[in-house]
Structure 1
């Protein structure tokens, strides 16, 4: 499922790399959170002071 960082054929190389990185991160987050409720994805700990699941996975 993971691809080389290449954009669409009509994109300049730099734009294609950035586009591909965002697209791949979105796909990875979707795989990781599949089956989780929105409440679980957004949960930030008992005192609401930790990173949510989505924040943690986007930064890795």
Structure 2
């Protein structure tokens, strides 16, 4: 999803992207909606965290 946003940002005038599900609500929850974050509920990075960090770092304007 992030790569697609980056690819079309200049066409659609996208200047910012925010991820609101940084942390799980409840990492032990049986339903997936409690586990959508890129870190666990005690802030341990999940595999997607490193990928997200790499993508943001590679495409950020400095």
Same fold (TM over 0.5): no
Name the TM-score, length of structure 1 as normaliser: 0.27
Name the TM-score, length of structure 2 as normaliser: 0.27
Q: Which has the larger radius of gyration?
A: 1
**Bigger helix fraction:** 1
